[in-house]
Amino acid sequence: MLDPLDNRPHKVILSDDTEVFLRFFTDSDAEMLFQFYRNLPEEDRMVLKDDVTNRKIFLELIDRIHKAVATMILAFHQDKIVGESTLHRNLHGWTKHVGELRAVILREYVGKGLTRALLKAQVEVANSKGLDKVVFRILDTQKDSKKALEEIGFVQEAVLSKHAIDLQGNFHDMIIMSNFVADLWRKMEDLIRDTEFEVIP
């Protein structure tokens, strides 16, 4: 698990044996991150909720990180950013217990376990911050992302029909995937209780 107070990189070995390092964002990563967003193919930029290829919006994201309302984990391969996941939260209001997770991964690293590693690390961050729930919005075409989310305990909670439109003008359903992180500890307690109860005749 990544410790936000300890910025040492955390090694992840992908399914093709590529060694990738995860660590929390620091200000010195800002320019490389901006270029990472700018170099994304059009199709990938389309699924960005905020247009972080625009410097003004990018700086707003960095400001959110500084204000601790966003936590970003970067994935590096050979000192190059190959993916990121960000946990956004509201510190006040009726959704202050909910985090919204977003992730961007370079295509050549998709399907190798990096998405899973980045998301899993953020679920643990959410847990350590005491959030009860994390949501992730995906489009109906993002099947790999859905699978990765399900593998780490997300479930499909809602579908918003024709909620997104792609560059060709096609409508897409938006799927809200949710992970009730507070339930994890209940599951852990249940596991302990179940193992202790199971031999009662």
Partner 1 sequence: MSDKRKMEIRISGLGGQGVILAGQIIGKAACLFEGLYSTMIQSFGPEARGGACSAQVVVSPEPIMYPYIKNPDILVAMSQEAYRLYANKVKSGGVILYESELVEISGVPEGVKCYGIPATRLAEKIRNKVLLNIVMLGFFSAFCDTINHDAIKKAIASSVPKGTEGFNLNAFNEGFEEGLKLKAERK
- Residue 184 touching partner 1 (CB under 8 A): yes
Distance of CA 95 to CAs 108, 136, 179, Å?
35, 14, 14
Region of 28-36, 92-100, 106-114, 183-191 interacting with partner 1 (CB under 8 A): 183-191
User: How many residues can be counted in the chain?
Assistant: 201
For the bound state, the minimum distance from the C-beta of residue 77 to partner 1, rounded and expressed in Å, comes to: 22
181, burial (CB in 10 Å: exposed 0-12, middle 13-18, buried 19+): buried
Residues 130-159 that bind partner 1 (CB under 8 A): 151-153
Kindly state the number of chain residues that form the binding site for partner 1, as judged by CB under 8 A.
25
Judge whether 48 and 104 are in contact, CB under 8 Å. Answer: yes
By CB under 8 A, tell whether 5 contacts partner 1.
no
Burial 126-159 (b: 16+ CB within 10 A, else e): bbeeebebbbbbbbeebeebbebbeebbbeeeee
91 binds partner 1 (CB under 8 A): no
Select the span of 62-70, 140-148, 170-178, 191-199 touching partner 1 (CB under 8 A): 191-199
101-120 residues in contact with partner 1 (CB under 8 A) are 120
Q: Is 8 in the site for partner 1 (CB under 8 A)?
A: no
Q: How far, in Å, CA of 145 to CA of 170, rounded?
A: 20
Q: How far is CA 150 from CA 51, 56, 83, 176, 199, in A?
A: 26, 34, 19, 12, 32
Q: Does 124 bind partner 1 (CB under 8 A)?
A: yes
87 is a contact residue toward partner 1 (CB under 8 A): no
188 lies in the site for partner 1, by CB under 8 A: yes
End-to-end CA separation in angstroms for the chain: 39
- Residue 50 backbone dihedrals phi, psi, to 5 degrees: -115, 145
**Which of 6, 56, 199, 201 is close enough to bind partner 1 by CB under 8 A?**
199
Query: Residue 135 carries which DSSP code?
Result: E
Stretch that binds partner 1, among 68-76, 156-164, 167-175, 182-190 (CB under 8 A): 182-190
Query: Which positions lie near partner 1, rule CB under 8 A?
Result: 1, 120-121, 123-124, 127-128, 151-153, 179, 181, 184-185, 187-189, 191-193, 195-197, 199-200
